[in-house]
């Protein structure tokens, strides 16, 4: 439990209480005494008691505003605020009537003048604080609404982009499966991986807690199917994994893109997927043995553009270096956006 905020809140209340007692009790009583040329320390003592009640009124208004009136109309809040202050004024008067009757008789006119000035002073402070807190609360709520809208937009955009991703290799995979039919075990294993791959592709758009581990498992199945199709022409290596949450399909797009644009003129293609992390960031590197990617290629093809857009929307960096792609995510970024909606 974080005790810092409650402590700060209580400290602020006591500082406010002390400020009100000091300025209202001492300062106003001195001013009143000078105006009527009849100042006494007894007036100051009674004034401090009076100011204590008013200060408690301000604190009560602040607490009620925080707990009850945050969503109440401002006019109703101000009326209740005034009634609370008047109520405490009445309690204060009867308290002094029973505890300081002689003073009220001797300094009746002075005391009533002081009460009127002090009430106006305290009520002004209370109203200003109430209006300030309500405006602050409204600003905070608007900021939260804007932040929520941004998150919804990002999630909707990510889902929209994910839905555009279809298994382009489906037709060729079915032809490969037909070719494997004489080999029952291979065909069965191939079709099992293909069905899991397609089922995952169908359900992934609605899945929010998609981890790197999930993506790696998906990519392994994808590469297994491609390996059977291209045999010795394709080799691959996957290093590392993580439970960090990422946008779905970003690794698969890059792997598929690499095969699509190089395998047809290659006798031997090697693809490496490397996941590494430190205290603050996590890096996913996808590269192949031909290293043909350049920065000016982003935007020319739907695969790279799609992946780059989704990585950036998730708060990550999409970097082309040494002919491959490196995606870098802050550990305090996309994870928090997604988990706040779970």
User: Using CB atoms within 10 A of its CB, is residue 186 exposed (0-12), middle (13-18) or buried (19+)?
Assistant: middle
Instruction: Say which residue the tokens 């499966």 belong to.
Output: 177
Would you write out the chain's pLDDT as a tens digit for each of its 342 residues?
444 444 455 556 556 656 665 566 566 666 666 655 555 666 666 666 666 766 676 677 666 666 655 555 667 777 777 777 777 777 777 777 777 776 666 666 666 766 777 677 767 777 777 777 777 777 777 777 777 666 655 665 555 555 444 555 566 677 777 777 777 787 788 888 888 877 777 676 556 668 899 999 989 988 988 888 888 899 999 999 999 988 888 898 889 888 888 887 778 899 999 999 888 899 999 999 887 777 777 656 567 887 888 888 888 899 988 888 999 998 876 555 455 445
Amino acid 9: pLDDT:
53
Amino acid 272: pLDDT:
95
Amino acid 273: pLDDT:
95
Residue 248 · residue 204 · CB < 8 Å: yes
Residue 87 · residue 20 · CB < 8 Å: no
* pTM of the complete model: 0.53
CA nearest to 324, candidates 274, 268, 282, 285: 285
Amino acid 4: pLDDT:
45
Helix (H) or strand (E) holding 281: strand 281-288
Amino acid 340: pLDDT:
47
Domains of the chain (ranges, CATH numbers) = 4-156 (no CATH), 167-339 (3.30.565.10)
- Beta-bridge partner residues of 310: none
CA nearest to 308, candidates 159, 300, 317, 266: 317
């Amino acid at each position: 439990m974080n005790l810092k905020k409650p402590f700060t809140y209580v400290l602020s209340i006591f500082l406010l209480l002390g400020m009100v007692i000091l300025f209202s009790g001492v300062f106003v009583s001195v001013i009143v005494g000078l105006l009527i040329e009849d100042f006494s320390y007894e007036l100051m003592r009674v004034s401090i008691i009076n100011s204590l009640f008013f200060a408690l009124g301000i604190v009560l208004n602040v607490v009620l505003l925080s707990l009850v009136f945050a969503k109440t109309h401002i006019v109703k809040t101000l009326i209740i605020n005034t009634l609370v202050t008047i109520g405490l004024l009445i309690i204060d008067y009867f308290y002094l009537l029973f505890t300081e009757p002689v003073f009220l008789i001797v300094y009746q006119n002075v005391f009533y003048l002081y009460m009127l000035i002090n009430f106006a002073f305290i009520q002004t402070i209370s109203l200003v604080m109430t209006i300030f807190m309500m405006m602050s609360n409204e600003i905070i709520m608007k900021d939260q609404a804007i932040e929520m809208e941004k998150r919804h937009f990002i999630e909707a955009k990510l889902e929209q982009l994910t839905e555009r991703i279809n298994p382009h290799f489906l037709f060729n995979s079915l032809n490969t499966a037909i070719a494997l039919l004489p080999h029952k075990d291979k065909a069965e294993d191939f079709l099992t991986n293909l069905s899991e791959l397609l089922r995952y592709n169908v359900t992934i758009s609605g899945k929010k807690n998609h981890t790197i581990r999930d993506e790696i498992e998906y990519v392994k199945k994808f590469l297994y199917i491609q390996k059977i199709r291209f045999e010795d022409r394709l080799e691959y290596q996957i290093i590392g994994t993580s439970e960090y949450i990422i946008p779905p399909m970003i690794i698969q797009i890059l792997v598929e893109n690499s095969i699509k644009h190089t395998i047809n003129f290659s006798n031997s293609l090697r693809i490496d997927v490397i996941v590494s992390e430190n205290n603050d960031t996590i890096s996913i590197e996808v590269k192949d043995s031909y290293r043909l990617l350049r920065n000016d290629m982003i935007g020319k093809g739907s695969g790279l553009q799609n992946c780059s857009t989704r990585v950036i929307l998730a708060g990550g960096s999409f970097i082309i270096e040494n002919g491959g792609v490196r995606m870098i995510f802050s550990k305090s970024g996309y994870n928090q956006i997604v988990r706040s909606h779970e």
